[in-house]
């Protein structure tokens, strides 16, 4: 619990700093990007390929700063959640094309196991998409030499009133040491990482009344996102009528 308080204090501080500066950073970024794109056009017209390469690098670095600022903004955002009733499958369907696209670059196979009989959830779709995109991206990044990403909807008799989404990978796994820190803001083991993805995920899921679990070994990693369903306890009936267990356990 102390650990959680420490974490949430840290998040709050970061949030306050972020709120004050993120917008101020983003506005000039937008201007820089716009002029760089103009420059790019001119360089194309004049066939200046060396200079174009410089511009390409500037634009991709700009993209990185922009991503970082976006994550800051998400962390600092006050809880303004648009709660809508939806099926979790709808959220996942919308991000699957993006995940599959990314997976292709890493030689990763994506398997998706929907479970349409699950109860609806009440949540903010855009925020949830952010969560599963971040988790999917991390999973793919952990499988540089290829592997399998499994996205599975499920429920559990011990967790009535909740639905779960499991994101499992066959990647590098997370060391016991790192496992304690993965949700800490700025904790990253990647040369170009921000270390903010999982803190954003955790923040969002907590705001939606859910929680995230992680387990990992040398065979891979699994993140489980638990979310309260819209009907509470009536999930019991679904379980009773024979919710099948996947062999991936």
- Nearest residue to ligand ADP by CB is 197
Stretch binding Mg ion (CB under 5 A), from 51-59, 124-132, 138-146, 219-227: 138-146
Which of ligand ADP, Mg ion, none lies near 235, with the C-beta cut-off 5 to 8 A by kind?
Answer: none
Stretch binding ligand ADP (CB under 6 A), from 18-26, 42-50, 102-110, 168-176: 168-176
Binding mask 179-198 for ligand ADP (x = CB under 6 A): ---x----xxxx--xxxxxx
Stretch binding ligand ADP (CB under 6 A), from 33-41, 43-51, 52-60, 164-172: 164-172
Residue of the chain from 70, 120, 172, 211 that contacts ligand ADP (CB under 6 A): 172
Comparison of 140 and 154: residue with beta carbon closer to Mg ion: 140
Q: Edge-to-edge strand order for the sheet containing 211-217?
A: 108-113, 147-154, 162-169, 220-228, 211-217
Q: What angle do CA 178, 132, 231 make, to 5 degrees?
A: 115
Residue 139 CA to residue 137 CA, distance in Å, equals: 5
Question: Do 107 and 146 contact (CB within 8 A), yes or no?
Answer: yes
> Per CB under 5 A, does 138 bind Mg ion?
yes
Which of Mg ion, ligand ADP, none lies near 70, with the C-beta cut-off 5 to 8 A by kind?
Answer: none
Between strands 108-113 and 147-154, the pairing is parallel
Comparison of 77 and 222: residue with beta carbon closer to ligand ADP: 222
Three-state secondary structure string covering 27-47: HHHHHHHHHHHHHHHHHHHCC
Q: Which residues pair with 220 in a beta bridge?
A: 217
């Amino acid at each position: 619990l102390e650990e959680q308080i420490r974490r949430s204090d840290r998040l709050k501080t970061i949030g306050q700093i972020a709120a004050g500066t993120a917008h101020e950073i983003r506005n000039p970024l937008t201007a820089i990007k716009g002029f760089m794109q103009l420059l790019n056009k001119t360089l194309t017209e004049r066939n200046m390929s060396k200079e174009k390469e410089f511009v390409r690098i500037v634009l991709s670095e700009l993209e990185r700063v922009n991503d970082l600022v976006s994550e800051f903004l998400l962390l600092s955002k006050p809880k303004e959640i648009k709660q809508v009733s939806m099926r979790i499958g709808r959220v996942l369907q919308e991000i699957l094309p993006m995940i599959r696209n990314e997976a292709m670059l890493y030689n990763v196979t994506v398997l998706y196991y929907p479970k349409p009989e699950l109860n609806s959830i009440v949540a903010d779709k855009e925020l949830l998409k952010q969560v599963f995109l971040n988790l999917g991206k991390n999973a793919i990044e952990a499988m540089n030499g290829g592997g399998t990403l499994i996205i599975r909807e499920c429920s559990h008799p011990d967790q009535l009133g909740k639905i779960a989404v499991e994101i499992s990978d066959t990647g590098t796994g997370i060391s016991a040491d790192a496992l304690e820190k993965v949700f800490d803001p700025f904790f990253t083991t990647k040369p170009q990482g921000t270390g903010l993805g999982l803190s954003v995920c955790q923040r969002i899921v907590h705001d939606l009344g859910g929680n995230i679990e992680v387990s990992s070994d040398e065979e891979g990693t699994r993140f489980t996102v638990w979310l309260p369903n819209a009907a509470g306890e009536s999930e019991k009936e679904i379980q009773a009528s024979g919710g099948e267990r996947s062999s991936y356990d």
